[in-house]
Structure 1
Amino acid sequence: MFGLFKSTPPAYHNLTAAQFAEGVRRSGAVLVDVRRPDEFAGGHIPGAVNIEVTAPDFAQRVAALDKAKPTYVYCRSGARSSKAAAQLSAAGFTQVYNLPGGVLDWPQPLTR
């Protein structure tokens, strides 16, 4: 009976920094920085929108995004973005990509 219960793999994909960089350059990709606004202001990946994952309105704000577009999420080190990616997948986003090493692994310059 126990064999019937399988753990479900995450509905999002972890990418290397190179894969993530390639993905966010694609037309139609949505890039979401889930850090606090002060962290975002200190430097973020160009083109990112800031939607803080720990904010009370996170679910409401991401609901305004197009669920069918490839959605790339990141934070400082990958912990918060993993949680955000899981929430996006659970909310019906079909193409969710996470940067597990966060901006600490980002090889290109950040913008302010």
Structure 2
Amino acid sequence: MADLSQQEWQKQLANDDNAVIIDVRTQDEVDEGHIPNALHIDIFLGQGFMDEVKKLDTSKNYYVYCRSGGRSAQACAVMNSLGYDNTYNLMGGFSEWEGEKTN
């Protein structure tokens, strides 16, 4: 797992043809806005989160975010333990996101 600043995350994501964005926030938070094309998997689903993550391709690069960076760091750690080598945590999370947003 790598913790990336907002600028590092956006720059790396823009140049990554193998990227998948994952939003680990609750549905209510997602309904207030999200990063376009993000896959929503709520980390609070517990085992359900792990079951959904296990369906993903381990060869992809995963850019993970939540509201402020805490839950996404946990999600990256869980993903790493499940065999995902390339996970990137968005420090500051969606609350500091200055890139494109969708409601």
Q: Which TM-score applies when normalising by structure 1?
A: 0.85
Q: Which has the higher contact order (CA 8 A, sep 6+)?
A: 2
**Displacement over 6 Å in runs of 4+:** none
- Greater share of residues in helix: 2
Larger radius of gyration: 1
Say yes or no: does 1:48 pair with 2:38.
Answer: yes
Matched residue, 2:6: 17
2:11 aligned counterpart, secondary structure: helix
Please give the TM-score of this superposition, normalised by the length of structure 2: 0.92
* Structure 1 alignment gaps of length 5 or more: 1-11
Residue 69 (structure 2) aligns with: 78
Contact kept in structure 2, 1:34 and 1:53, CA below 8 Å: yes
Gaps of 5+ in 2: none
- Paired residue for 2:23, among 18, 33, 55? 33
The answer to whether residue 80 in structure 2 is matched with residue 89 in structure 1 is yes
**1-side partners of 2:102 and 2:72: how far apart?**
19
Query: How many residues matched?
Result: 101
